[in-house]
Each structure stands twice: as C-alpha cells, then as structure tokens.
Structure 1
Amino acid sequence: MFPRYLTPRLAVALKRSPVVYLMGARQVGKTTLVRMLAGDRGMAYYTLDDPAVLAAARADPVGFITGLAGPVVIDEVQRAPDLLLAIKMAVDSDRRPGRFLLTGSMGFKSRSEAAAALVGRAEFLTLRPLAQGELERSKRNFVAGLWAGDPRELMRPGNGRSLVPRVCAGGYPPVQGKNEADRAAWFASYLAALIERDLMSLARIEYPERALALLRAVAAATATPQNVGSLAAELGLPAATARRYEELFERLFLIERLPAWSASLKKQLTRRPKLVVNDTGMAVYLLRMNCEGLEQRPEILGRLVESFVLAELAKQASWLDPEPQRFHYRTRAGAEVDAVL
C-alpha cells in the first residue's frame, strides 16, 4: 500500500472540526485511507455502496444519523444527500470535533442545499491520484520548499528518469505496475462505469458517447485556456450542453479549472481559466496513445507534461495547511507562467 501524505492534514482536521469531508475521484484511494483512520481511531465505518445501508439512510436520514454511536465514517455520502441535513442537525446540537468523517466521489454545486448544510461545520479536503513522492515513498515536497524558501529543497537533482513513462502511468493506484494494454483496459472500464453510474445520476445525459467525446477533446487541449463553445461546435453539441457536461466532469474530479492570476480579483473572475485533465494516465488513454507514440508527438507531449506538473503541484499543495491557491498567468502579449502559487 502506498503512503498518503494528506493523512497528517486529515488527522489535524478531525481534531478541530466536527465534520471532515474527503472528496476525490473514484478509485484514488479514499476508502482505503478512511478505513485505516477508522481502525486507528475506533470509528465505526459505513459505506453507502452497501445496498442495505443506503436504503436505511435514504428512508430515514435523521433516524439513521441519530442511531449512530460515537464518531463514524460514512463512505460515498453523496449517494444519500439528505444525510447532510441530518448531520447538520446533529452537529448543531453537539459540535465536538471528529464526529463525522465523510467521503464523496462527486463535488457539490456551490448553491446546493446539501453543500450549504455543511458551511461553517465542515472542513473539505481533496484526495488526488498518487503523487510521485507517494509512488516512490519519498516525503520530498517541492511546494513546501517553495513556501519555506529553502534552496536546498529546490535545487535537489532528480533521478534522471524520463518523464514519459510517468506521464503515461498517471497516479491512479489500480494501474500502477500494469503494462500499457492493461492500463488502457482499466481506464476503458473505469470511464464506462463512471458515465453509466455517476454521470447519469448527476443529470439526464442525452448523448453519453458525446460526453466522452467532449472529455477527449478537453484532454487533447489540456493545460490550455479552452473555449468550450468551440469544442461544442466541433462535436456538434449545443454550447449549453457542452458546458453542462464540462461542469459534470469537474464534479467527478476528472478535469479542473486553473484560474488566471491577476492582482485584481475582478479580473481573476473574468479572465479565461485553463482546463486541465487531472490525471495524465487517463488523458493518454483518452487520446488513444501510448508512450512510444507520445514521444513522436512533441506538441501533445508538451501539454501532457505541463498537466503532469500542474497535477503534482496540486497534490503537494494539498498536503499543506493552509493549502496554497493555484493559478496560471498570461499577459496580453502572450508571455506565460504555467503555474502561480
């Protein structure tokens, strides 16, 4: 099992907040991590992937929560959103820290009632695919070195290995150590299940195959300021539909917006963000490529390497408390800084 360097920050959050919500894509290791914490801390563990538990939680959310004894872990809580309102009621009457450790594979709409129920009551953390340091069991943290201003951390040489195999493998735990054919088979199954199970539960998807085509188009232009309207036109999708699909993929933690940095908050909100695929292994699969083919396509490889670095920065930043914000920067003349922390 790989170490997860978010664990110390998660442990601190449980000591100071009544609810801790651990978010992240399916299969990044949330369940493994929270089950380990549950065992170490004597917390009861419930998963809403269990049909009986899910049925009980949906039938009587308040009764389900009030019937729990002691601190608990509730895995995949997004499958019964009304539980969050019941948790709000429980926390409002008893705000002891560490009462609820929740996990979810879908992000909230910012305006949703369920998300609002936890405001001021919960800390939200994101578990991302494995970082290179976790894969190598090394605790080096480039972002922490930047923050500390430690030149020794910043100037350490790498091991000289090519980035291409790392880009192709990405960070999902189940594909580590697999060959390229087996990785492709896993990603095919993963995305099919994600669209059938999660995407369809979030919204009525008229054309699931076009949703996947949009995700492929985003992967092809990853780490660039993308115009979703233009992508929609290329795919024969209404622009509103494409924007909805994009939002859904964000909520499933497959892609992420990297906002533009500006000294003016107003300009930060209006300048075009970059769209980044959160895992380069998945991006390579979506582009129907392999390591050998990538080395022959420097323009695609360049975007994937940038996405790989942005993902590494996001993972390392998530281990820090408080977590640094991340941006990109581009001048009107076209000068660019790929990442601003």
Structure 2
Amino acid sequence: MIIRRLQPILEDRLARSSVVVLTGPRQAGKTTLALTVGEAMGALYLDLESDRDRARLLEPELYLETYLNRTLILDEIHRMPQLFPLLRSLVDRARRQGRRNGLYLLLGSVSPEVSRQAGESLAGRASYLELAPFDSLEVGSEALETLWLRGGFPESYLAPDEEASFRWRQDFLRAYVEREIPLLGGRLPVETVRRLLTMLAHLQGELLNLSRLAGSLGLDGRTVGRYLDLLADLYLLRRLPPLEANVGKRLIRSPKVYLRDSGLVHALLGLRTLDDLLGHPVVGASWEGFVVENLLRVLPEGGEAYFYRTRAGAEVDLVLRLGSGEMWMIEIKRSLTPKPRPGFRTALGDLKPSRAFVVYPGDEVIPVGEGVEATPLPLLMTRLWDGS
C-alpha cells in the first residue's frame, strides 16, 4: 500500500469543510483514498455508476436526509448532476442543526463538469482537491525510472512485469477513446482520436501548432482544439502557457503541450521496456514531461507555472512563480553531465530569478554555474513541498 501525499490534506479538509470535492483522472486512486479515509469516519459509499447504488437514489432527498449524521462518499458525482442543488439544501439543513464539517466527499473524473456544478450549487460550502497518479515522492527515489517508464497510474506502476503494465495502459487508452471521450460529446471516429493521441505523444513538449496538427489529421483547427479541451478536461493533457514578461524581447506565445502521464506516452509509441525508451528519439521530451508533471504536483497553492522562450533563443523549460513572490527557473536535462544551455544563461539575465536549477537524473546536488544547481528531481520536489 503506497501512502498518498494527499491523505492528511484530505482528512484535514473533511475536518474543516462541509463538502470536499476530490477530482482527478480515472484509475488514479480516488476511490481507494476515499475509502481509506472514510473507513475511519464510518462513511457510507455510493458509486453513481452502479445501477444498484443509483436505485437507492430514486427518491434522493428521502434517502440522503437519512444520513445527515454520517459522512457520505458519492463516487463519479458528475453522472448525477441533479444532486448538486439538493446537496446544497442538505448542507444548509445540517448546518442549522450544528454540523458543519465532513458531510460529503464527492469524487469525479471530469474536471470542468464537476467544478462547474459544485461551484454553482455549493459556493462557500465546498473545498477542492485533485488527486493525480503516483509521483516520485510517493514511490521513492529508488523507483524513479520504473515510475518514468510505466507512469503513475497505480495498476500500471504496480503491475507484476513490464508486459502486464504495457497491456494495462493500452486497455486504459482504449477505454478513454471508446467510452469516456464519446460520453463528453466526442463524435470523431475512434481511429481518428487514437491518431490524435499518438501524434501528441510524438509532439511531447513541443509548441502547439494547431493548424499543422489539424492538417495532419485532415480536420479543421476548431475540431482539434475542442478535442484538446476534452483531453485536458479528462486530465490527460497539459498545456503549459508561455511566460508573459516585460523584457523588451519578442516572445514565443504558443503553449507547449504534454500528455500528462509518461506511461501513456510510452504506450502510444509502443515502448515496452526502459531499453526501448532510452533508444527512442522521444526520450528527452518524455523525461521533460515527466519532470514537469511531477514538479507541478507539489507546486504550493497559489503557484503558477510557465515556460519561457524568446525568438532570439533564450529558453527555460519551466518557470515557477510561487505564492511567496519567488521565481524559480528550471532547465530539464536527461544527462549525468547537466551543463545549462546558453539559452538558459541568457534567460537568467532576462528574468533574474530567485533560484535556478537544472533537474537531472543523478543523485546529488552539483553547482553548475553561478547561482545554478543541478538537482535530482525528488530533492527539488521535496523543497517545493516543504517550502524550503
């Protein structure tokens, strides 16, 4: 059993808030975490994709008001959006009776739908958390390469061997392409969506050129843009925006795109083993995306993430603006001799960050220039998570 970093935070939120909304991709471990936390609270669990549990809610108000004295976990809440106004009424009723915390834990795997419904109906009553797949701090630094190859989805990471992990990821992608995307209104043929995902895997970490991507698929840009939105809503895609900085230089203004789980990138490209990955042209981009995603999972609340690139060649893979006002510049290299690129040094002069790092796959901190440290990923994650 891998302890999730989010567990104590979830327990604290339930102790303080009437409603906690826990979102994240399917199969990331939301249900397991909710049941672990809920067991100690004597919570009741309902899966709204289960016909039996949905049948209990044929008269939802009568059923739910019976359990106002007990924490209720509602899984895949977006399947019954009509519950949100009722939950608001029940929360207010419980508050009048003196109970103000731990009423409902709502789980959902579609970000905007859950957030919109909860925001409209539960404003001022709900707290929000996102559970991502496993990250480096959760599995330990000794398992870093396994996590990179297999990705962080628990079934993939914990599979008995590489082939079983690879098959699980193939099945996971197939389920999203054939079921989840159509449920959100996707109308493109399954094979076209699969081609789009495979192209995004090849374009990992590159600037988004929507017209070029659409042309390669024989589609219009608006359609492809809508599907990118769907993939982002399902927690599969990240669009990293460019930093808007007043530095007197011409800046790149297109976002960079990443498939968020490295294991899915490798499955789409047919990379089963670490040897397959290390010999493939995507290796550097895959490592970059893996580092970006892990660091953003521990970004303190209120922090913002960007990349920086000028048309003259100054470049930073990741710029973090922390809530404290600090700016961190981060270059990402898949090399044991992590020398910063000239473009990174130029960007140091442009942006004048509080701290600068090169993340590399080594296991010790190495000075690589004035004010720049080459740092292992787990250590930099710990610094962000601990605020050090």
The correspondence for 1:184, drawn from 141, 144, 166, is 166
* Aligned residue identity for 1:89: S
Q: How does 1:317-332 map to 2 (within 5 A)?
A: 317=299, 320=300, 322=301, 324-332=303-311
Q: Deviations over 1:149-184 (max 9, x none)?
A: xxxxxxxxx76x8x6544211111112243332222
Structure 1: unaligned runs, 5 residues or longer: 137-157, 265-269
- Cα offset for 1:231? 0.9
Q: TM-score, normalised by structure 1?
A: 0.82
Deviates most, 20-29 or 69-78: 69-78
Q: Percent identity?
A: 33
| Number of residues of Structure 1 aligned to a counterpart in Structure 2 | 308
Distance 1:55 1:209 in 2: 36
Structure 2: unaligned runs, 5 residues or longer: 247-251, 321-388
Q: How does 1:204-243 map to 2 (within 5 A)?
A: 204-243=186-225
Distance 1:17 1:334 in 2: 48
Q: Deviations over 1:167-224 (max 9, x none)?
A: 2111111122433322221112112222333211110423122112111111211222
The answer on whether the counterparts of 2:25 and 2:234 sit within 8 Å (CA) in structure 1 is yes
Distance 2:229 2:114 in 1: 12
- Cα offset for 1:254? 0.9
Q: Which has the higher contact order (CA 8 A, sep 6+)?
A: 1
- Cα offset for 1:34? 0.3
The answer on whether the counterparts of 2:305 and 2:318 sit within 8 Å (CA) in structure 1 is yes
More strand by share: 2
More helix by share: 1
Is 1:255 paired with 2:254?
no
Distance 1:97 1:103 in 2: 17
Counterpart of 2:65 in structure 1 is: 66
Query: Larger C-alpha radius of gyration, 1 or 2?
Result: 2
1:22 partner SS:
strand
Q: How does 1:255-294 map to 2 (within 5 A)?
A: 255-263=237-245, 271-290=253-272, 291-294=274-277
- Cα offset for 1:253? 0.8
Q: How does 1:136-215 map to 2 (within 5 A)?
A: 136=140, 164-178=145-159, 179-215=161-197
- Does the C-alpha gap of structure 1 residues 43 and 109 become closer, same or farther in structure 2, counting only changes over 3 Å? closer
- Does the C-alpha gap of structure 1 residues 305 and 52 become closer, same or farther in structure 2, counting only changes over 3 Å? same
CA RMSD of aligned residues (A): 2.4
Distance 2:222 2:16 in 1: 41
Counterpart of 1:99 in structure 2 is: 103
Distance 1:337 1:106 in 2: 31
1:7 partner SS:
helix
The answer on whether the counterparts of 1:21 and 1:125 sit within 8 Å (CA) in structure 2 is yes
The answer on whether the counterparts of 1:261 and 1:329 sit within 8 Å (CA) in structure 2 is yes
- Does the C-alpha gap of structure 1 residues 113 and 76 become closer, same or farther in structure 2, counting only changes over 3 Å? closer
Q: TM-score, normalised by structure 2?
A: 0.73
- Does the C-alpha gap of structure 1 residues 36 and 201 become closer, same or farther in structure 2, counting only changes over 3 Å? same
